[in-house]
Amino acid sequence: MLMAPVALMAARTVSAAGKMTLAIHQNTSAAAGFRGSLEGWSRAGIKYVELTNTLLDEFLKTDSLAAARRVVSDLGLTPVSCACGVFGLWEPNPKRVAQLDSFKNRCEQFSALGLTRIYSPTPTTEKFTQDDYKRGVANMRENGDIAKQFGMTVMAEAVRSSTFIGTLPTMLRMMREAAHPNVAPLLDFYHFWSGLNKLEDLDLIRPGEIGHVHFQDVPDMPRELLDNTTRLIPGDGVAPINRMLRTLADKGYAGPLSVELFLPRFQQGDPYEIAREIRQKSETVMRRARVM
């Protein structure tokens, strides 16, 4: 009986650690632009957003970085992550020096918007050797050193078709070897479930290890036919989302679940209506998994 309050407190602590928040990635409303996407989502009750370099660059053609920050803050939004738009950061490649310069510029730019997390995917299709992975680990440390200068964490997103980092186990193994406090894995539900991963691979995650999550579903069709445009709103597909969310919660993940979609009906649709649909369906899934 004396231990009961302690046990209850511990249970509540674990539960709170697994609570997550809904966010939307700007790729989802790409046609609406930087301001239009954020204004529509805000009206729909979205509080957390993921910014993209593409929409920011378009905005900056006619306005300032300070104005971009005001758009976000005036709408009561919190930016949780950003796509840097720089590729080739992780694998060995001859253009790395120029890529690092671009990455540094993006870190400076997005940190000025109040962001502390930035990511780059791993879409390469080149041929690699075992020795290239040693260089990849060194690249991770170098990327982390740059991000650290701006108070940021850089994250790798394992792309399902990548010939270098295409699976969660490979990404986790390399990042643990790099052991840099400013480098973290980004788990993308779509790339994970549609790629070469196994559901049990989620059990490899250590508490507090995941830096950010992209949140989507997968349609009931041959995986060979899947591509970026076949991503669905969570709950509309057949991926084992409930189990995936519960595993993340058990691992202590309490960050954003950022919905990133590419279908024309999402990207070209009214941001307010799209955000309403995403919020209704996604929050239903999150409540069912007891992560909100």
What is the CA angle 215-218-220, rounded to 5?
160
Q: What is the pLDDT of residue 206?
A: 97
pLDDT tens, position by position, 195-231 = 999 999 999 999 999 999 999 999 999 988 998 889 9
CA 27 from chain centre, in angstroms, equals 12
Q: Where are the alpha helices (DSSP H) in the chain?
A: 4-17, 33-43, 53-60, 65-74, 96-111, 130-149, 168-178, 189-194, 241-250, 264-267, 271-288
Dist. CA 263–CA 283, nearest whole Å: 20
Please report the sign of the dihedral spanned by the C-alpha atoms of residue 211, residue 227, residue 140, residue 108. Answer: negative
State pLDDT tens for residues 103-117: 999 999 999 999 999
pTM of the model: 0.93
Q: Roughly how many angstroms between the first and final C-alpha of the chain, as a whole number?
A: 30
Which DSSP helix (H) or strand (E) runs through 23?
Answer: strand 21-25
* Residue 282 vs residues 87, 166, 171, 290: alpha-carbon distances, Å: 29, 26, 27, 12
Residue 119 has pLDDT above 60, yes or no: yes
Q: Is the CATH number of domain 25-287 3.20.20.150?
A: yes
Say what the pLDDT of residue 17 is: 52
Structure tokens that stand for 145 in this block: 């050193």
Helices 168-178 and 130-149 pack at an angle, to 10 degrees, of 60
Distance between CA 37 and CA 125 in Å, rounded? Answer: 32
Contact 141, 152 (CB under 8 A): no
State the DSSP code for 164.
S
Domain boundaries, the chain: 25-287
pLDDT tens digit string along 13-28? 334 456 999 999 999 9
**For residue 18, what pLDDT is reported?**
61
